[in-house]
């Protein structure tokens, strides 16, 4: 018997060792690849639907001023309130169905030219599907709105995709440079490769085997380096993973309150008066919980004051017993003698006492002309979803949600040039009302735990008043800024 070193025995035996795997292995690989492809197609679909929902909410606000009936605002309000990820909206369901159908048919078309892997390409394919959808005929009434909005959504979606693609490209270019550093060991082989690749076609495997023999020693070093790098990457990722999900902080905002429509919640005679919104300060505390890297839920408690003015108002004390009172106002005891009228030429007088009033030269105090200010203060408890569009040192985020408002202050004031007097409080204000909120935020991270943010928000008030004359749909616009601390 010959003595052979153990090592050499194994080395020689395993030289050129190859074994064909069973067919089932390829089948399982193929199945996994199919699943991955499905996911790749579905994810952009969800982004698209989410984008559609958000754009509908915005579009509803834009289209609303052009509506002339009262029915539409209420249906618009319902849509807006449902837009926050609520897929029960019939319109969106129909979109779902149609999108799925279209995607099935367009996939076949898309597959032949090229199977897009890069997100940019798949984004373009998705956008072209949008075009197909747009050109499709039969739609229900609301879909015309969707069509009009698809362009806007496309651009936003494309921008998001481009931003994402650029981020990906950055990341992949960083990885590529790393790989380049790795492969510097093998620079001499590159010439060998390029010259061999020139006469390809049928002799690939033979070439590869030749290369293998000369390259084995050099590749082992690269394995070691690459594995070490992968470990480092994992460590970095682990460090980045947020373990601190809660954050809270104070914020403050100037809030401008105004309303759409011409009506008046005070009295019918003020319907045609001009009204102007005013700005107040809101302040409070907000709390947020990070559900995922991109999404977080936030709430808080804020004190917010709203007020608006009705102009061209005439008021005076009148001790006449036949004083006409406004039904929606609960008069203060000291103001029960005050009478208020609109000086607007289009206003409908409630009673004939207006004419008498104007002509009554013996009134104890002369009529004063000024404005009526309705003020109300709330404790606002918002419940919003925050989506991070950009999460770097400077961040951009998108916010949508609802707020509950609990009434705590309520007064109506009359003011003219020289005096201001409180008339009383409105009795047609709901003590609890809701608003739907939408906004975009910019933030700057001082450190991983502290950031400052500025968020312009639009809040559409849903049921502030229980009885209004005319169309009076209040909203508020505020620029919320504050500090956020992570813990």
| Binding footprint of other proteins on the chain (CB under 8 A) | 1-7, 9-11, 13-14, 17-22, 24-26, 28-30, 32-33, 37, 114-117, 172, 175-176, 179-180, 183, 185-187, 189-190, 193, 197, 200-201, 204-205, 208, 211-212, 215-217, 219-224, 226-228, 230
Question: Which residue number, 86 or 232, has a Cβ lying nearer to other proteins?
Answer: 232
Question: Which residue number, 37 or 101, has a Cβ lying nearer to other proteins?
Answer: 37
Smallest gap from residue 39 Cβ to other proteins (A): 13
Residues 402/86, Cβ–Cβ less than 8 Å: no
Contacts of 436 (CB under 8 A, 6+ apart): 57, 77, 80, 81, 83, 84, 401, 402, 459, 460, 462
Smallest gap from residue 129 Cβ to other proteins (A): 18
Residue 165, both tokens: 């693609």
**Largest Cα span, the chain:** 139
- The helix-helix angle for 23-63 and 71-82 (nearest 10°) equals 150
Smallest gap from residue 246 Cβ to other proteins (A): 31
Question: Which residue number, 179 or 327, has a Cβ lying nearer to other proteins?
Answer: 179
Smallest gap from residue 34 Cβ to other proteins (A): 9
Question: Which residue number, 19 or 418, has a Cβ lying nearer to other proteins?
Answer: 19
Smallest gap from residue 159 Cβ to other proteins (A): 23
Q: 429 has which bridge partners? A: 465
SS3 state of residue 29:
helix
Q: How far apart are CA 281 and CA 283, in angstroms?
A: 7
Residue 314, both tokens: 């005439």
Smallest gap from residue 33 Cβ to other proteins (A): 7
Residue 50, both tokens: 């989410």
Smallest gap from residue 176 Cβ to other proteins (A): 6
Residues 483/247, Cβ–Cβ less than 8 Å: no
Q: Mind giving me the DSSP string for 214-281?
A: HHHHHHHHHHHHHHHHHHHHHHHHHHHS----EEEEEEEEEEEEEEESS-BSS-GGGTTS-EEEEEEE
Smallest gap from residue 48 Cβ to other proteins (A): 21
Q: How far apart are CA 449 and CA 446, in angstroms?
A: 8
Torsional sign, CA 250, 251, 252, 258 = negative
Q: How far apart are CA 458 and CA 325, in angstroms?
A: 35
Question: Which residue number, 135 or 180, has a Cβ lying nearer to other proteins?
Answer: 180
SS (H, E, C) 57-80: HHHHHHHHHHCCCCHHHHHHHHHH
Question: Which residue number, 181 or 274, has a Cβ lying nearer to other proteins?
Answer: 181
Q: How far apart are CA 356 and CA 353, in angstroms?
A: 5
Question: Which residue number, 20 or 71, has a Cβ lying nearer to other proteins?
Answer: 20
Say how many CA atoms lie within 13 Å of 308 toward its Cβ.
21
Question: Which residue number, 18 or 346, has a Cβ lying nearer to other proteins?
Answer: 18
Question: Which residue number, 200 or 321, has a Cβ lying nearer to other proteins?
Answer: 200
Q: How far apart are CA 284 and CA 249, in angstroms?
A: 9
Smallest gap from residue 51 Cβ to other proteins (A): 25
Question: Which residue number, 26 or 246, has a Cβ lying nearer to other proteins?
Answer: 26
Smallest gap from residue 236 Cβ to other proteins (A): 17
Question: Which residue number, 197 or 274, has a Cβ lying nearer to other proteins?
Answer: 197
- The two beta strands, 246-260 and 473-486, are antiparallel
Smallest gap from residue 293 Cβ to other proteins (A): 20
């Amino acid at each position: 018997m010959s003595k052979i070193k153990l090592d050499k025995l194994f080395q020689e035996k395993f030289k050129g060792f190859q074994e064909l795997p069973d067919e089932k292995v390829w089948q399982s690989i193929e199945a996994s690849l199919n699943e991955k492809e499905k996911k790749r197609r579905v994810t952009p679909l969800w982004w698209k639907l989410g984008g559609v929902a958000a754009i509908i909410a915005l579009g509803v606000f834009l289209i609303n001023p052009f509506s002339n009936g009262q029915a539409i605002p209420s249906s618009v309000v319902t849509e807006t309130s449902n837009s926050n990820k609520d897929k029960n909206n019939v319109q969106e369901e129909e979109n779902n169905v149609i999108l799925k159908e279209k995607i099935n048919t367009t996939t076949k078309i898309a597959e032949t030219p090229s199977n897009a892997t890069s997100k940019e390409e798949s984004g373009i394919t998705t956008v072209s599907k949008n075009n197909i959808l747009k050109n499709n005929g039969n739609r229900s009434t609301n879909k015309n709105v969707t069509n009009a909005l698809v362009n806007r959504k496309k651009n936003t979606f494309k921008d998001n995709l481009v931003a994402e693609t650029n981020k990906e490209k950055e990341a992949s270019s960083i990885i590529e440079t790393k790989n380049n550093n790795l492969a510097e060991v093998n620079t001499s082989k590159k010439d060998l490769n390029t010259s061999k690749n020139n006469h390809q076609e049928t002799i690939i495997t033979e070439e590869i085997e030749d290369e293998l023999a000369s390259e084995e020693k050099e590749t082992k070093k690269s394995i070691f380096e690459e594995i070490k790098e992968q470990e480092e990457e994992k460590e970095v990722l682990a460090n980045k993973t947020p373990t601190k999900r809660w954050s809270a902080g104070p914020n403050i905002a100037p809030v401008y309150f105004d309303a759409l429509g011409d009506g008046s919640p005070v009295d019918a005679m003020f319907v045609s008066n001009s009204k102007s919104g005013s700005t107040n300060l809101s302040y409070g505390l907000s709390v947020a919980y990070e559900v995922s890297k991109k999404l977080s839920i936030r709430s808080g408690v804020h004190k917010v004051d709203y007020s608006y003015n009705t102009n061209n108002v005439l008021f005076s004390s009148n001790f006449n017993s036949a004083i006409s009172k406004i039904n929606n106002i609960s008069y203060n005891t000291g103001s029960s003698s005050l009478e208020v009228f609109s000086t607007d030429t289009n206003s409908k007088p409630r009673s004939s006492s207006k004419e008498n009033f104007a002509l009554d030269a013996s009134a104890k105090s002369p009529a004063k002309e000024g404005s009526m200010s309705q003020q109300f203060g709330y404790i606002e408890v918002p419940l919003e979803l925050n989506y991070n569009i950009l999460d770097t040192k400077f961040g951009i985020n998108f916010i949508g949600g609802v707020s509950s408002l609990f009434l705590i202050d309520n007064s109506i004031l009359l003011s003219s040039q020289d005096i201001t007097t409180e008339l009383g409080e409105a009795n047609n204000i709901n003590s609890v009302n809701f608003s739907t909120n939408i906004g975009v935020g910019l933030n700057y991270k001082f450190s991983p735990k502290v950031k400052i943010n500025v968020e312009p928000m639009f809040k559409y008030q849903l049921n502030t008043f229980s009885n209004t004359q005319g169309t009076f749909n209040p909203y508020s616009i505020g620029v919320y800024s504050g500090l956020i601390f992570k813990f």
